[in-house]
Amino acid sequence: MTKIDIIGRGNVASHLKKAFASKSDVNIVNPHTLSDLREDSDLYLISVKDDAIPIVAKKLKARVCKDSIVAHTSGTTPLSALNGVCRNTGVFYPLQTFSKDVELKYSEIPIFIEGNSKRVEKLLKDSASLISKRVSMADSGKRRDLHIASVFCCNFTNHLWTLADEYLTKHGLDFKTLLPLIMETTRKASVSGPASSQTGPAVRHDQGILDAHCRRLEEEMEPELQDIYSLLSLSIMSHHPKK
Amino acid sequence: MTKIDIIGRGNVASHLKKAFASKSDVNIVNPHTLSDLREDSDLYLISVKDDAIPIVAKKLKARVCKDSIVAHTSGTTPLSALNGVCRNTGVFYPLQTFSKDVELKYSEIPIFIEGNSKRVEKLLKDSASLISKRVSMADSGKRRDLHIASVFCCNFTNHLWTLADEYLTKHGLDFKTLLPLIMETTRKASVSGPASSQTGPAVRHDQGILDAHCRRLEEEMEPELQDIYSLLSLSIMSHHPKK
C-alpha cells in the first residue's frame, strides 16, 4: 500500500487525487491544511502555483520522515527548488491542461519524472505508472523544451483562434462556423502528422491570395494581424519549399 | 427532383457527390469527362482548382440550357469568374478541409451561398439545405474574410504544430506526447471560447518564463522560433492585459 499526500487545492491536485483514488493499492489524502498531512507517507506531491512551491517545501521540511519522497508537479520549476527539504526529492509532472469538472482519460496523460537518485526515480515511476501508461523520465532541460513546444502547440494556437474570433465578430460572422474545420484540422494533424497535413495559400505558394489577404488586413488597419500573417506565411513557405 | 452535375475529381467534388447521393429528391452525376455532362441539369457545380474554374466555365458555356445554374465551390474565386457563362451563376462554398476516405458529418459543414439574382440564391440555398443545416449567404468580401480567419485558425495553427514537432524531434522527444494536450486545448476553446481558455506564460505575464524560453531558443540558434515566440507572446499580452 503506497501512502500519498497531495498538497494543493487547484485543478492539477484535484485531478491527481481523482486519478489515484480509484487505485486499490494507494492510500491517498488531500488535506485542507498542511497540519493535517500525515507524517509517514511514502510520497508528498506538491501541486501548488510555481512561486508557492519553495514556501510549501520549507514548511514540509520539519514534518516528513526520512524515507519519504517530496516531489512537485510543475513543468517549469527545477528539481533544485526542493533542495534541503528532505533526502528524497523529485518531480512528477503531468503534461495536460486541467480544467475543473472535465473528465480526462488519465491513462493517456504523459507524466514526466525526475528524481535526485535512481531509487527515487524508480519509486516515482512506479507511482505514476499506476495512473498513466505514458510515463517517461525528463530532467529540467527536457521539461523546459517540452514546455516551449507546448506553448507553440497550445497557447499560441489558442491565441490564433482568439484573433480569428475577434476578426469574425468584427465582420458579423461567428467563430463557431469554423469549429468543424478546426476539429478536422486537429484530427488530420494527429493522424498524419502536421507537416504533411499543411493546407492553405502559403504552402501552395499562392502569392495572389497571400497579397490579397495582406492588402485586406492593411485596409482594415489590423497591423498586428498583418505582422502575424506575414511572419507565419513566410515560415510555412520556408518549411515547404516550392516544388 | 433536382438534377445536379458535379464537375471535378478532387476531394470536394467526391464529398459533395457522397453528400447528395443519399438524398432521394436529388439526381446526381459526376462524370469523368465534360462531354458526359447532362444538358438539362438544374445545377452544375464546378469543383476544380481555382485556376481551372475559368477554363471549365468557358467549356460549359455552349452546353448548359438557359434555366440552369452554374456555380463554383471555391472560397477565394469571385462570382464574376463565371460572368458570361450563362444567365444564372452562383457560388456554393462548403467551409471544410476535405480528405479522401474520411467520413464527415455533412449536416454540420457550413455552406456559404452567393447568386447573381435572388432566384438563384434561393435555389442554391434550397439545394445546400438538403445536405447541411448550416447554410448562409456570403458575398466575395465575406468569403475572403472567412478565408482569412480560417488561415489563422487552421493553416497557421497546423504550422505551429509542425514547428513544435521539429523542435521536439531535435530534442529526442515525440510530438505524439503533446496530442492529449492539443485535443484538450481544442475542446476547451470550442466549449468556452478561445479568449477565456487562454493559458501559458504570456497570459500570466510571467516574464521570467518568457525570458527563459527566449534565451533557450537563442542558445539553440532558432531565430525563426524566437521571432514567432516573441510576436505571439506580445500579442497575447496585449489582448489579455495584466490585472
What would the pLDDT profile of B13-69 be if each residue is shown by its tens digit? Answer: 999 999 999 898 999 999 888 889 998 999 999 999 888 999 999 999 888 888 999
| Contact criterion met (CB < 8 Å) for A134 and B182 | no
Tell me whether A65 touches chain B (CB under 8 Å). no
Does the beta-carbon distance from A202 to B163 stay under 8 Å?
A: no
Which candidate in A77, A97, A218 is best for mutational testing of the B interface (most B CBs within 10 A)?
A97
Structure confidence at residue A33 (pLDDT): 87
Minimal CA separation from B47 to chain A, in Å = 17
Tens digits of residue pLDDT in A128-181:
999 999 999 999 899 999 999 999 999 999 999 999 999 999 999 999 999 989
The answer to whether residues B185 and A97 touch, using CB atoms and an 8 Å cutoff, is: yes
Q: Compute the distance between CA of residue A238 and CA of residue A203 in angstroms, rounded to an integer.
A: 9
Percent share of chain A, pLDDT over 70: 99
Query: Once rounded to an integer, what is the mean pLDDT over residues A32-37?
Result: 88
Across A99-105, average pLDDT: 73
pLDDT tier for residue B103 given thresholds of 50, 70 and 90: confident
For the stretch B36-58, what's the b/e string if a residue is b when 16 or more beta carbons lie within 10 angstroms of its beta carbon? Answer: ebbeebbbbbbbbebeebbebbe
Give the three-state DSSP class for B206.
coil
Q: Which residue has the cell 432521394?
A: B24
The predicted pLDDT at position B129 comes to 96
Instruction: Give the closest residue to B43 by CA, choosing from B86, B105, B94, B106.
Output: B86
Average pLDDT over residues A70-76: 93
Contact B181 A224 (CB under 8 A): no
- C-beta atoms of B161 and A238 within 8 A: no
Residues 36-55, chain B, touching A (beta carbon < 8 A): none
Q: How many CA atoms lie within 13 A of B65 on its CB side?
A: 10
Q: Which of the pair, A204 or B159, is modelled with greater confidence?
A: B159
Instruction: Return the pLDDT at B96.
Output: 82
Res. B118: pLDDT tops 80:
yes
Distance CA A62, CA A206 (A): 65
| Whole-number pLDDT of residue B62 | 80
Chain A window 195-224: which residues touch B at a Cβ cutoff of 8 Å?
Answer: 195, 197-203, 209, 212-213, 216-217, 224
The residue of chain B nearest to residue A185, with distances taken between CA atoms, is B154
Interface test with A, best of B12, B106, B186 (most A CBs within 10 A): B186
Q: What percent of chain A has pLDDT over 90?
A: 77
Alpha helix locations (H) across chain B?
11-21, 53-61, 118-131, 140-150, 157-170, 179-192, 194-197, 207-219, 223-239
Tell me if ipTM is over 0.90. no
Q: pTM, whole model, 2 decimals? A: 0.86
How far, in Å, CA of B181 to CA of B177, rounded?
Answer: 8
Confidence of residue A238 (pLDDT cuts 50, 70, 90): very high
- Please give the residue of chain B at the shortest CA–CA distance from A153: B161
Question: In a mutagenesis test of the A interface, which of B76, B99, B161, B210 is the best target, namely the one with the most A β-carbons within 10 Å?
Answer: B161
Q: At what angle do helices A223-239 and B223-239 cross, to 10 degrees?
A: 150
Decide if A182 contacts A161 (C-beta within 8 A).
yes
Confidence tier at B137 by pLDDT (50, 70, 90)? very high
- Kindly state the cell numbers that stand for A39: 507524517
Q: What is the mean pLDDT of residues B165-190?
A: 94
